[in-house]
């Protein structure tokens, strides 16, 4: 088991390192000088030179990367060109907001997906099965930014139950866990939960339906075990796969929330990425990408490590 964890860690390290390279280098894909965003087009040469050295852009790219990585390891991601604030501060408050949204959305999506999928798998071919299957197809096919818009039209402009945008009456700064603030979470998190809901329903349905045909379930039935006991066996056997799929989905939500955050003007990483891209704020873009992707790498690692704890067969292979 320990060697398995070590192997996973060793495997994740080069991936994490490559992610830092990609996050740093991505901005160099674009043609043109990164300085164009801050310096006016007719700036004198000495001003440009001074700016270049201030942002460290006068050094060779590998050196820039090395310095950037070294500082990032110490928790310094540079200064945002657009706002002049430290990138770390900006990214972490935004990541907090995104995590809040993605966390609630994943819980909702995984829960509903598991229940629907299990029901559909148990009642294979029934009305419930068809409904759940239809819902899961809709879930994976719907453009979630559009769903957000439709939910806003129905529940915000018509019924007036939930606010259409923002993260609370006073912005995200004074967040508290009361209904006045949590109302703002409802529409974005429901919108976001539809993606994992669809995929997890599909996975659980297929797994449960497959599991119920296995010989060991037939044997359990023959021994006279009741539904609850059989369900425990089925749940135990499907859990590792569901966990793997769910873990991946939670990670995708971190990225997928970009579009939903735009629809609801949620002050998360999506909003930050938008700012970074359209103002060509390179340190902000690099920092946001890095933090989000590291989350994804760590999440995958955690899922890989938890899986054999649930299913010991995996650790041995």
Partner 1 sequence: MDMNLSLTSSSIAAPTQSRSYWHVVARQLRHEPVAIASAFVLFLIVMAAVFAPWIAPADPFKASMLKRLLPIGSSGFWLGTDELGRDMMTRLMYGGRLSLVMGVVPVFAAFFIGTSIGLFAGYVGGRINMVIMRVLDVFYAFPSVLLAVAISGALGPGMSNSLIALTLVFVPQVVRVAESVTTQVRQLDYIEAARLSGASAFSIIRFHVLGNVLGPVFVYATGLLSVSMILASGLSFLGLGVKPPEPEWGLMLNTLRSAIYSNPWVAALPGALIFITSIAFNLLADGIRSAMDIRR
Residue ranges binding partner 1 (CB under 8 A): 14-16, 18-19, 22, 26-27, 29-31, 137-138, 140-146, 149-150, 152-153, 157, 251-256, 258-259, 262-263, 273-274, 276-278, 285, 289, 292-293, 296-297, 300
Give min distance, CB of 297 to partner 1, in A: 5
Half-sphere exposure of 211 (CA within 13 A, CB side): 24
**208 vs 290, which CB is nearer to partner 1?**
290
What is the C-alpha separation between 266 and 163, in angstroms, rounded? Answer: 12
At closest approach, how far in Å is the CB of 141 from partner 1? 4
For partner 1, which is the closer residue by CB, 140 or 217? 140
User: Cβ 201 to partner 1, closest distance in Å?
Assistant: 14
Question: Residue 227 Cβ, how far from partner 1 at the closest point, in Å?
Answer: 30
Cross-strand partners of 79? 86
- The distance from CA 1 to its chain's CA centroid, rounded to whole angstroms, is 28
Q: Which is nearer to partner 1, 237 or 286 (CB)?
A: 286
Beta carbon nearer to partner 1, 17 or 49: 17
- The rounded distance, in Å, linking the Cα atoms of 304 and 9 is 10
Nearer to partner 1, 121 or 148 (CB): 148
Find out whether 22 and 68 touch, Cβ atoms under 8 Å. no
Q: Which two tokens stand for residue 288?
A: 């946001």
CA–CA gap between residue 286 and residue 77 (Å, rounded): 8
In three-state secondary structure terms, 181 is helix
Q: How far apart are CA 82 and CA 12, in angstroms?
A: 33
Least gap, CB of 32 to partner 1 (angstroms): 8
């Amino acid at each position: 088991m320990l060697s398995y964890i070590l192997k996973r860690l060793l495997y994740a390290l080069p991936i994490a390192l490559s992610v830092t390279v990609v996050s740093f280098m991505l901005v160099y894909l674009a043609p043109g000088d990164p300085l164009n965003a801050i310096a006016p087009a007719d700036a004198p040469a000495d001003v440009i030179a001074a700016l270049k050295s201030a942002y460290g852009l006068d050094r060779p790219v590998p050196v820039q990367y090395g310095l950037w990585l070294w500082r990032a390891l110490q928790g310094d991601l540079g200064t945002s060109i657009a706002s002049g604030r430290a990138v770390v501060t900006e990214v972490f408050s935004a990541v907090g907001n995104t995590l809040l949204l993605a966390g609630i959305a994943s819980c909702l999506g995984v829960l509903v997906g598991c229940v629907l999928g299990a029901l559909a798998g148990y009642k294979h071919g029934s009305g419930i099965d068809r409904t759940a299957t239809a819902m899961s197809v809709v879930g994976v096919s719907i453009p979630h930014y559009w769903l957000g818009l439709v939910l806003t039209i129905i529940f915000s402009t018509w019924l007036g139950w939930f606010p259409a945008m923002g993260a609370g009456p006073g912005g995200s700064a004074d967040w508290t866990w009361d209904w006045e603030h949590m109302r703002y979470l409802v529409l974005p998190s429901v919108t976001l939960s539809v993606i994992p809901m669809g995929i997890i329903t599909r996975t659980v349905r297929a797994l449960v339906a497959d599991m119920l045909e296995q010989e060991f379930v037939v044997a359990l039935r023959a021994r006279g075990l009741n539904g609850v006991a059989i369900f425990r066996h089925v749940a135990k056997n499907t859990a590792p796969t569901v966990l793997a799929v769910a873990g991946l989905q939670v990670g995708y939500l971190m990225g997928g929330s970009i579009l939903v955050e735009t629809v609801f003007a949620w002050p998360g990483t999506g909003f930050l990425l938008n700012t970074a891209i359209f103002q060509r704020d390179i340190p902000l873009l690099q920092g946001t990408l890095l933090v989000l992707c590291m989350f994804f790498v760590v999440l995958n690692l955690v899922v890989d490590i938890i899986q054999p704890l649930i299913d010991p067969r995996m650790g041995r292979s």
